[in-house]
Structures are given as C-alpha cells and as structure tokens.
Structure 1
Amino acid sequence: MLRLQVKSYLTELKMKGSSAHTLSNYSYHLDKFISFVESSGLDFTTLTLKQVKQFRNHLVQQGLKPRTINAVLAALKSFYDFLVDEQEVQGNPIITRRLRVKEGQSLPRFMTPEELKIFNRWLKTIPRHMALGYRTMLATGMRVSEVSSVTPNDIIVLDNGGYIFRVRHGKGDKERYVPVIDAGVVNELIDFVGDRRDDEPLFGVTSHAFKWWARKCRLETGVAFHSHRCRHTTGTQLLQRGVFIDKVQDVLGHADISTTRRYAKTAPEAIYELAAKVDEIKERRALYRFWLR
C-alpha cells in the first residue's frame, strides 16, 4: 500500500512538471522511509511525530549528512501533504522545524588556480565531448544535469556576438538563460555542434557519465574533483570580477534569495552582457550553419 502511494505521488509530481532529477531524488529519499516502515512494522497512515523522530534518528545512525537527512524529511513532508489531499491520512505528522538536523555553514568548494591547471591538463587526456562538457560547466556555471540535457537548439546567438544557453529544465524545473563567459569555449562549441540534430543532447551522455569521469579525475590527478566544483568555481570567479551578486544568482539559478541576493533584481538583459564574444570568422561560421538548418 505504501509503495503504491509513493508511486502515485511521484506520478503527480511528474504531471506537475517536476524534472527527472527531482523525481529521482524524491524516489531515493522516500525509499529510505519505505524500508524503515517495512522493517519496523509501522502503519504509515497513523504515523506519529515520535515515530518520525525515530526515523530521523535512524538516518543519523546510518551516517547520513545533516543536509541529506533534512532533504529526506522535506520529501517526506511533501509526500504526506499529498496523502492529506488524497484523504488517505487525517493530518501531516511531519513538522520539519521540530525535526531538522542542524547543518554547518559550508563555503563553496571552488577550484584553486593550481587545481585548475591540473584539471585542464587532465581534460586533454579524455574524450573530446566529455572535456568540452566540463569546460562548458566552467564557462556557464550550469549543473551537471543541465549540461547533460542541453541540445544544439538551446544555443542562442545574440546580436552583440555573445552566446547563451537556454536551460529548459533547471532545478525545480525552472527555465533560465545562461551566458557562456569563455570565448574559447564558445569557439569549441561552434566547431563541435556541426551537423548534430537540434533536439538531441549536445554531448550525448547522461549525468552518470560525468560523475564516472569525475571519479576517474580524482583517481588520476589527486584533485578532489566533482562536477559541482565547476559551478562553485564559476560563481566565485564572477564575484571576483566584480559582477553584482544578484546577477550571479540569475546566472547560477539560485532559488534562495537570502543566500545570494543583496540587490534589487536586474533586468534579464544584464545577463547577456556577460556572454563572451567570438571572433568574426567564428561568428560568421555559426550564422552560416544556422541558416543552413
């Protein structure tokens, strides 16, 4: 019964437009709750706050990080909201403010100049499409799930010669536009797109492939690399260049205003100013290919 309700809940999220990444995370989090309920012999329809605390403590004993535990509890609260709406339970026993585990304030783990040198040398040893995928992350701040899902049709050429990506399904299934801030990456992308179909993933790989190569990087270089560090590095470099924090928030697609926004929201055109310009020959080649489509 519980498994069927979870399946119905995930279907409801999908119908509301939740991204595949969100659905995967919620499924993973709720699987932990299912295992706990089944092993403990609990009735999920009469769950009490005390039993929820036992579940939280069980997660702690498993060695999960506070952030992960809080994410599980948030998913569980949303699931019980669904059950209330479906009249499967009378009330929601998940009171997150009384259950949350305190999280330490961690700073973004950007790559140091020395780490970037090592990383860029390593990129020359791996397949071209994977290397360009990572360089695109560094040049845009996009998440690994976003880079793995962009298509040639999502590359937009601006009147001023800049290039931006249209991220159709960002975190929370939100759409945004992201500038490519490295002219070298722009030139590589122009050459790489070639005759690829407009509606197919640009790099032709999944998020898991990027994670696999990230692990290979750690083993071969000794750099504590994971794909999200590209995003941290981009955000840090933009701030170091004097870009206003609210503009950085728009580029990175942060939903939580309190963490990044300190100024009034700028116009979308401000994002375009960050897009790197390409040389005239490369730009003409891109436009030529565009009109041939």
Structure 2
Amino acid sequence: MTESLLANEPWIRGGFFLFVLFAIALWEVSAQRRPQEIGRLTRWPANLMIVVLDTLAVRVLFPVAAVGAALMASENGWGLLNLLALPGWLSVMLAVLVLDAAIYFQHRVFHAVPWLWRLHRMHHADLEFDVTTALRFHPVEIVLSMVIKMVVVVLLGAPVLAVVIFEVLLNATAMFNHGNVRLPLWLDRWLRLIVVTPDMHRVHHSVIRRETDSNFGFNLPWWDRLFGTYRDQPEKGHLDMTIGIEDFRTRRDLRLDQMLIQPLRHSVLSSGSKVMPD
C-alpha cells in the first residue's frame, strides 16, 4: 500500500486539486460573496501560472517531497510516532493534527520575520480574494515550506498515508476558504467550528495589518482560537473591507513578472483602499 501511495501521490493530489478548483470556481459564479472590481482575465493567468512554477520547483528539487520523507522515516524507524506502539489509525490522526499545527505556526513566523514576510506578502498582494488567491505563493516560499514540512514529517515519523491525507486536505481547504463564495450566516457560524471558512479567512486578507495578523489557519480553525489569533469579523464588514496590502496596489503589480520580483522590491506609494491605474 505504501509503495502504491508513493507512486500515485501526484495523480491523487492532482485529481483532487483540479476537481476542487473547478468546483469552487463554478460556485463563485453561482453564489458570489463580494463583487470584484478586477476581472478574472486580469488576475487568473498569473495566479494559475504561479502554481505551475511552484509545482515544477518542488518536483525538480524534491522529486518525492513530503511523502518520500515519510517513507524514509518509516523505513529507518525515525521520528516520534515510529517509536510509539500506537494503532495505525491513531498515528494517522495525530500526524494530520500535528502537521496542521505546524503549518499554522509556520504561517505566523512568515508574518513576523521581515525577510520571510517579503516572500509571503505576494500571497496577500492579490487585489481580489477568490479561489486562485489560494494558489498565489512565491516559488521560494513554496520551497522553504516544503523543507519545513519534510523536517516535521521526519521528526514526527508521520505515516505515508497521513501525509497524503494532509496534503489533499490542505490543498482542498485552502481553495475552499479562499473562495469568493456565499454561505448562509448560520452555516458559516457552525462550520467554522471544524474548518476554516471563506468568511473567517477573508479577514486575514484585509489591508488592515491587525486583521492581516489574525486567522492564520488554512485547514483547522482551532489553533487560532487556542493561541489567541482568532478574529470573528473584519472591522468594515465583508463587503466594505479592502483586500490586499498597502504596498502594491496597481494592476501592474498583478503581472507574473512583478509578482516574482516582488520580494526584492521596496514599498511603493499607494492610494490605500483605491486601486491605482496601470
């Protein structure tokens, strides 16, 4: 089973990725949460191209990535879970929880450390918030994230199955909670007790920095509540809040070349809540 998972992991992840991407995109068309000033044709080509570059970077540098790290740990008996005589299902469950907590803390560190923020801010510099925003991460950040994930997998001794489940869940929930989709308020209130919802995560993409530094979870919402970073609603409401960051607010900043060199760029004059012309 382990060898089969390793061999089919790219197809499993790719299949779920495409299914969820198209499903959320269709949902956005039929039940849009916020009107968008900048159309998909302006933003989506670069956002989609970024995920292609990210995938190529990871596969070139880490051909078997986190799943391969889990297999190596299992074969050598490395990591905490490989030293404990736990039932398989419990090891899988604990590994998924610990990996999700690790992503939460990694996210907080990328906001707190200035040079890491310069990498991560590309994700926040999208001037709209929809399913493709979930794909918008700088390739260098993706590579660093993979290194961190592989270290956690080995130290934890995460089972291969747990890593595959976690990767699929992380991709799917990230696209879901970045979706520009409308949920009934009562459903959002209950759903965000078990998963990060779009209204919960949208707060994190506010131009107001104290809101940007909240709601760090991608998958499970419990870490924000437990560690004091949970914010229920944006100050100006979901329809009136401004998405993005102050530094890069022109349509030119949405181009792929500008996104890739953004970590090297200094702040530019911006108009705050208004999108500047090209």
Superposition TM-score, scaled by structure 1 size: 0.30
Report the structure, 1 or 2, having the larger helix content: 2
Superposition TM-score, scaled by structure 2 size: 0.31
Q: Which has the higher contact order (CA 8 A, sep 6+)?
A: 2
